[in-house]
Chains A and B, each alone.
Chain A
Amino acid sequence: EVQLLESGGTVVQPGGSLRLSCAASGSTFSRFDTTWVRQSPGKGLEWVSTIKADGTTTYYSDSVKGRCTISRDRSQTTIFLQMISLRVDDTATYYCAKDFNAIDAGMDVWGQGTTVTVSS
């Protein structure tokens, strides 16, 4: 069974950058689309970015487009989210999640989340 583990969350100043990681155990990402979802304190879920199973096709929400890059390592066991020009409203818990299958909506495996705080 696939398990996901995020890391890289920290406190960073506005304008700073960081890289989040999502490591998969029990499988690789080569078969699944993988998505970053964030949740600001006390708020709902927000889709951030998705990388397709092909490892090259990527999508971003308007709120992070141009400031985030999603990628996958060559071993296909880790997904990254590189974030630059961070803003206070990027403060959130960031989750990675994998699609259940290639056809239907639904992400069946989620990590426990990693917390990013953007503050001066």
Chain B
Amino acid sequence: ETVLTQSPGTLSLSPGERATLSCRASGSLRSGLLAWYQQKPGQAPRLLIYGTSSRATGIPDRFSGSGSGTEFTLTISRLEPEDSAVYYCHRDGVSTRAFGQGTKVEIK
């Protein structure tokens, strides 16, 4: 079973800065089997990126996903105050799915 490990645990940045969130898989993932979600307190998760690098409907273009194999990245190019949230990576598999443990993004 492929485990996802996210880093860092917490990222504290100022508005306008670039945020780079990492998700490492314990085994190689087939192309397209990685997604990213944003979750704010008291809310359900929201899909940001599907298929490793495609933005979901309505997601601003400051969010981008990239990667392959075992290394994946979510980049927020210019942080806005409303980007304060926990971000999770997620993988599909043949018979299981899994989430990373999350990265908390704080806006100074």
Chains A and B bind each other: yes
B54/A104 in contact, CB under 8 A: yes
A45/B51 in contact, CB under 8 A: no
Number of interface residues of B (CB under 8 A): 30
A113 at the interface (CB under 8 A from B): yes
Residues of B within 8 A of A37 (CB): 45, 99
Docked Cα-Cα span, A33 to B52, in Å, equals 18
Least Cβ distance of B75 to chain A in Å?
A: 17
B57 at the interface (CB under 8 A from A): yes
Which size class do A's interface residues fall under? 20 to 34
Docked Cα-Cα span, A47 to B32, in Å, equals 18
A105/B102 in contact, CB under 8 A: no
Find B35's partner among A46, A50, A105, A110 (CB 8 Å cutoff). A105
Point out residues on A near B: beta carbons under 8 Å: 35, 37, 44-47, 50, 59, 61, 95, 97, 100-101, 103-108, 110-113
Instruction: Identify 7 new A-B residue pairs, CB closer than 8 A, beyond the known A35-B97, A103-B51.
Output: A44-B100, A105-B34, A105-B50, A105-B91, A105-B92, A110-B44, A110-B45
